[in-house]
Structure 1
Amino acid sequence: MARTKLLAARLRAAGDRPYLAAALYALHVVESVAVPTMGVDRFWRCYVNPAFVDATPVPELAGVWIHEVSHLLRDHHGRAGRLPATVRDDHVRVNLAQDCEINDDLVADGIALPAGHVSPRTFGLADGGLFEEYLPRVPASARPHRCGSGAYGGREPWDLPAGGVGVGATEAQTLRRQAAEAMRAHQRGRGTLPAGWQRWSSQILEPTVDWRQILAGTVRSAVAWASGAVDYTYRRPSRRSTAQRGVVLPGLRRPMPGVAVVVDTSGSMSGADLAAAMAEIAGVLRQVGIGGNRVAVLACDAAVATTQRIARVEDLTLTGGGGTDMRAGITAAAALPLAPDVIIVLTDGDTPWPAEPPPARLIAALVGHRAAPPPSWATVVQVGP
């Protein structure tokens, strides 16, 4: 491989965009004839095909260096892992959507890229979006593109085993913050940044709390409160009964908390948003140790259409499409034979709410930002990407 040419291209990339220098030099080069061009894994190892290096001019190689490190800085691997299962493994379309998120900035910044590179305009889309926004509109017939498992997840045949040389998760976060701080300093020096990098650096330096963490913490709090409740029962007599002849003392029962999820299936709810948010909520419930028949899911528009107890979110069938009244779902959830301790209402918020709080703790998981807030007694979590 023309290694001198490859490293000269990296030097040029770091010189042209010095705020990316630390990230670029953190990449470990691995020569491989299996990778079609260049690609990265999540350990910041950059796999390079020698024939691609020989055939590509240095200015374009510098652009590919910036493109590949952008996948890692923007945590495309981690974000791809949070996609709904129905689209997560469609690596071709995920990779193309990710390339759209990156390349609109690179083209606007005057960075040279090889012929045939993908941008939002390739698919008639507007610049400035995130890959999660582009993904539904990338056609299934689009040509394959492979930037490596560090972009779209999974594992490629050319990937080295985990461990050994590479960058760990903690160091990767440090590199992201260094790049964001360098971008901020670049702007203070009257330098310009593409819109995508401005948005990204602001999110790194001024992060918002992930709604998944809020939901998990809220559910944990409610479940801990329910688990801490105890009651007397004769189904398990107290061990002290052995010291009391002729007397049976009741034992203490610690109930297993149950959760009901009321899903808004009215016409105002987007199917893609609904599937993604429901998958996330199922993941949160698994994380806090609740599953199986402890979770009831009620599909509700203006009335409850179905009630299911599911072990996997893939088994869920949601029906509806009419008006919206989550009061019906909340009332039905509270009246279940296995009464829930926590009720999660997944809705866009365009619904009337009960005048009084239900007997269970209620968490309103709101998709979108267009509706009035729920009552003050509800715990509100804003669901978003």
Structure 2
Amino acid sequence: MSAGAPGALDLDKLFAARLHAARVRPYLATALFALHPVESRRVPTMAVDRHWRCYVSPAFVDRTPVEELAGVWVHEVSHLLRDHHGRGDRVARERGLTGPGERLRMNIAADCEINDDVFGDGLTEPEGAVRPGSLQLPEGQLMEDYLRQFRLGPRTQDLSWLDCGSGADGMEREWDLGPDGAHGLSEQERDAVRFRVAQGITGRPGSVSKKWRRWAEEAFHPPQPWRELLGAAIRSATSGAGAGEDYSYGRPARRSAGMPGVVLPSLRRRPPQVSVVVDTSGSVSDAELGSAILEVTAISRAVGGRRDLVTVLPCDAAARIVHPLCRGEGIPLLGGGGTDLRTGFARALRTRPRPDVVVVLTDGQTRWPATRPACRTVVGLFPRQRRSWNENDPDYVPDSPPDWARVVDIG
């Protein structure tokens, strides 16, 4: 049907709204023009599938001003860029969430993630847009966080109409054209769109929200499964008995009540200190040294984002200067000689305040301390095809990490 036929989709109006969206959010232009519109009377407003098709209700376009339609364009493409369909599938498996009710919750949570910072600055908020505040939820969080904080009930009963499609929650709809339908993007094409958008965002840092900047950083350095394992190992080490604990007279022990005149200290938990020893020997590549700083940032997230609790120590055959993570972007990873991380362990354990956990990032071509350190140890191993390698001794076989260390393979 043509745009002028009764009940037909007004493509001129729809495309004018997309052009307006691209003008006010130029870093999203590649993604906006990659979306292929498909007329559908079965969607309430506009909806997307994971193959980058946008299903559009003609009646919705007719009754919605161009400025609001522009906001809906940006909203829907944000679902796809932020991989809400893939994240929805993962969280459904992990938490055992099934059925249309749970998928509606995911759609609401995904909308809360998007809508708290997407409008304004030339982009009009559409009528009925879901905001975290309307559900008495904090702003600035992710879909997975919001899912833990609300259930379907009186506050969400007016949102039963909401349906941004399978691209927002991962559950296929009856109107989806599927992977073999026309005008869908391949996985490689979708990745290329995300990369181009991430490039546009990093090129306009002053005009992009914090959430989009964080998204762009993750698009260039996507989270890896081993990074989650490394974070879990560190959290486990820092939460164990004795980690981050010390006696304090700031609050007397409860037993003091039974001993008049005697003030006993109480055992208080303090934030855990983490010392990261980075192997800078000649067998570690420049790329691995560069990625080590990214891993240090991930380690800081594992302890709650407190960069002041993390120090970094470059080490080859000799320990270098201990650097606080607050200067992480400028930490010089000096080295290039042989490897003996025993000196790194010794230097880290002399650091004040004393670390509760020592994390070692290495290729494993090293000697290890003969005795267990007085704190927990996590070892991240860079990948090697053959661990028995030494530039001077072909028969050299390095020691395996000791049993008292938690080992995670990196990469």
TM-score category (smaller protein): 0.5 to 0.7
Superposed displacement of residue 199, structure 1 = 1.1
Superposed displacement of residue 380, structure 1 = 4.6
With over 3 angstroms needed to count, the CA separation of the structure-2 counterparts of 1:150 and 1:208, relative to structure 1, is: closer
For residues 184-226 of structure 1, give each alpha carbon's deviation from its aligned partner in whole angstroms, at most 9, with x where no partner exists.
Answer: 1122xxx411121111112213x154135775xx9xxxxxxxx
Query: Is the CA contact (8 Å cut-off) linking 1:108 and 1:194 kept in structure 2?
Result: no
- Residue 132 of structure 1 corresponds to 144
1:211 partnered with 2:225: yes
For residues 254-277 of structure 1, give each alpha carbon's deviation from its aligned partner in whole angstroms, at most 9, with x where no partner exists.
Answer: xxxxxxxxxxxxxxxxxxxxxxx9
What are the ranges of 5 or more consecutive residues in structure 1 without an aligned counterpart?
Answer: 219-276, 278-343, 354-365
Tell me, in whole angstroms, the C-alpha distance in 1 between the residues paired with 2:239 and 2:24.
Answer: 49
Paired residue type of 1:26: A
Tell me, in whole angstroms, the C-alpha distance in 1 between the residues paired with 2:89 and 2:149.
Answer: 19
Superposed displacement of residue 121, structure 1 = 1.0
- Residue 42 of structure 1 corresponds to 50
With over 3 angstroms needed to count, the CA separation of the structure-2 counterparts of 1:192 and 1:88, relative to structure 1, is: farther
Superposed displacement of residue 368, structure 1 = 4.7
Query: Is the CA contact (8 Å cut-off) linking 1:76 and 1:152 kept in structure 2?
Result: yes
Paired residue type of 1:95: N
Superposed displacement of residue 139, structure 1 = 2.7
Query: Is the CA contact (8 Å cut-off) linking 1:214 and 1:381 kept in structure 2?
Result: no
1:179 partnered with 2:113: no
- Residue 128 of structure 2 corresponds to 116
Query: Is the CA contact (8 Å cut-off) linking 1:128 and 1:195 kept in structure 2?
Result: no
Paired residue type of 2:110: Q
With over 3 angstroms needed to count, the CA separation of the structure-2 counterparts of 1:117 and 1:348, relative to structure 1, is: farther
Alignment of 1:233-382 (within 5 A): 347=236, 349-352=238-241, 368-369=302-303, 372=357, 374-376=376-378, 377=402, 378-380=405-407
Tell me, in whole angstroms, the C-alpha distance in 2 between the residues paired with 1:48 and 1:379.
Answer: 52
With over 3 angstroms needed to count, the CA separation of the structure-2 counterparts of 1:62 and 1:154, relative to structure 1, is: same
Query: Is the CA contact (8 Å cut-off) linking 1:104 and 1:119 kept in structure 2?
Result: yes
2:216 is matched with which residue: 189, 194, 201? 201
Paired residue type of 1:194: S
With over 3 angstroms needed to count, the CA separation of the structure-2 counterparts of 1:345 and 1:66, relative to structure 1, is: closer
Query: Is the CA contact (8 Å cut-off) linking 1:29 and 1:47 kept in structure 2?
Result: yes
- Residue 75 of structure 2 corresponds to 67
Paired residue type of 1:138: F
Query: Is the CA contact (8 Å cut-off) linking 1:41 and 1:148 kept in structure 2?
Result: yes
What TM-score, normalized by structure 2, do the two folds share?
Answer: 0.54
Query: Is the CA contact (8 Å cut-off) linking 1:80 and 1:88 kept in structure 2?
Result: no
Superposed displacement of residue 147, structure 1 = 0.5
**Percent of aligned positions that are identical:** 44
With over 3 angstroms needed to count, the CA separation of the structure-2 counterparts of 1:130 and 1:88, relative to structure 1, is: farther
Tell me, in whole angstroms, the C-alpha distance in 1 between the residues paired with 2:408 and 2:134.
Answer: 36
- Residue 179 of structure 2 corresponds to 162
**Superposition RMSD on alpha carbons, in Å?**
2.9
Paired residue type of 1:65: W
SS at match of 2:204: helix
Tell me, in whole angstroms, the C-alpha distance in 2 between the residues paired with 1:173 and 1:59.
Answer: 29
What TM-score, normalized by structure 1, do the two folds share?
Answer: 0.57
Query: Is the CA contact (8 Å cut-off) linking 1:88 and 1:94 kept in structure 2?
Result: no
- Residue 192 of structure 1 corresponds to 207
For residues 48-89 of structure 1, give each alpha carbon's deviation from its aligned partner in whole angstroms, at most 9, with x where no partner exists.
Answer: 010000010000000000000000111111111111242365
Tell me, in whole angstroms, the C-alpha distance in 2 between the residues paired with 1:52 and 1:105.
Answer: 24
SS at match of 1:166: coil
